[in-house]
């Protein structure tokens, strides 16, 4: 469904040049869930932004459903690929009701039966019709993210790009959103690319994943290997160790500084 070959994203020129993504390649099968993990600044979110046209592609190829994506992206692309952003507090217009937020993509693409489609989209994300005319400030963080997911799904895309969709939410709400996303993927046959710095989130939702560092692909592995702590790359091993949580064991300051 999605094939990325030698993707490059470069910002600036000369001394101000930043190579945000360096020759990253991976592919995602239809109906699969694929993870991109790494520390902040590793380039994982930039990969998603390049796929959907929000970041410049400086080199390489992006193919969706066997077709090379056009620049700029056309309406057909956005019928196939949609994105859910990290911060539900910023991704929804504060002066638009839920109804207007969900009706806008339908109007842009000339879809009919908007009312029925909106009510169906709300049901799919576990919200009733009473939420239709509320504003974002009248919703909790989890409800806002459910609306963002409903907006992404209302055009019935094949691919969802998920940029840390639960990082701005409380732990209990994170679990609800992750379970919702997993259920929707199976029910609608969606293909996911999930970006997260949280290895537990990726292991829960994804089958395979790519570890990134400084804009480069470090290692491709499976969620099963991640859960068992198996990794061939030392950086991936350090991520797994860091994800295991806080330790009260004393740290040698000399060793810590040298690391």
DSSP lists the bridge partners of residue 24 as: 7
pLDDT in tens, 219-238: 998 888 877 777 777 888 88
Burial 19-58 (b: 16+ CB within 10 A, else e): bbbbebebebeeebbbbbbbeeebbbbbbbbbbbbebebe
- What mean pLDDT is predicted for residues 237-259? 62
Q: Which residues contact 17 (CB under 8 A, 6 or more apart)?
A: 10, 11
Contacts of 79 (CB under 8 A, 6+ apart): 109, 155, 156, 157
State the Cα–Cα distance between residues 201 and 146, nearest whole angstrom: 17
Enumerate the β-bridge partners of residue 48. none
d(CA 170, CA 174): 6
- The position carrying tokens 């470090």 is 218
Cα-based angle 178, 169, 40 (whole degrees, multiple of 5): 90
Closest CA to 34 of 196, 231, 187: 196
Q: What is the pLDDT of residues 62-99, one digit of tens each?
A: 999 999 998 888 899 999 999 999 888 888 999 999 99
Token pair 């692909």 is found at: 217
User: Dihedral through CA 93, CA 96, CA 98, CA 102, nearest 10?
Assistant: -80
Task: Give residue-wise pLDDT tens across range 143-180.
Answer: 999 999 999 999 999 999 999 988 878 888 888 999 99
Tell me, yes or no, if the pTM score tops 0.75: yes
- Rounded CA gap, 94 and 74, in Å? 27
Confidence of residue 56 (pLDDT cuts 50, 70, 90): very high
Q: Write out the DSSP string of 106-121.
A: HHHTT-S-HHHHHHHH
Q: Which of 257, 52, 84 is nearest to 169 (CA)?
A: 84
Percent over 90 (pLDDT), the chain? 66
- Domain topology for 2-246: Rossmann fold (3.40.50)
CA dist 105 and 96 (Å) reads: 13
């Amino acid at each position: 469904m999605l094939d990325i070959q030698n993707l490059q994203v470069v910002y600036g020129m000369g001394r101000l040049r930043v190579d945000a993504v360096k020759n990253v390649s991976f592919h995602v099968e239809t109906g699969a869930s694929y993870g991109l993990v790494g520390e902040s600044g590793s380039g994982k979110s930039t990969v998603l932004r390049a796929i959907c046209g929000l970041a410049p592609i400086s080199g390489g190829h992006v193919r969706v459903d066997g077709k090379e994506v056009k620049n700029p992206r056309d309406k057909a692309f956005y019928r196939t690929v949609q994105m859910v952003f990290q911060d539900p507090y910023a991704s929804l217009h504060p002066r638009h009701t839920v109804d207007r937020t969900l009706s806008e993509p339908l109007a842009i693409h000339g879809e009919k039966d908007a009312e029925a489609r909106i009510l169906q989209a709300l049901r799919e994300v576990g919200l009733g019709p009473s939420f239709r005319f509320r504003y974002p400030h009248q919703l909790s963080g989890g409800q806002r993210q459910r609306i963002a997911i409903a907006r992404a799904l209302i055009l019935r895309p094949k691919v969802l790009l998920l940029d840390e969709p639960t990082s701005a939410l409380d732990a209990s709400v994170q679990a609800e959103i992750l379970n919702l996303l997993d259920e929707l993927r199976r029910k609608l046959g969606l293909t996911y690319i999930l970006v997260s710095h949280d290895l537990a989130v990726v292991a829960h939702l994804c089958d395979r994943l790519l570890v990134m560092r400084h804009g480069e692909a470090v290692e491709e592995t499976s969620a099963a290997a991640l859960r068992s702590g198996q990794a061939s790359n030392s950086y991936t091993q350090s991520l797994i160790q860091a994800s295991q949580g806080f330790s009260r064991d004393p740290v040698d300051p000399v060793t810590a500084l040298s690391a």
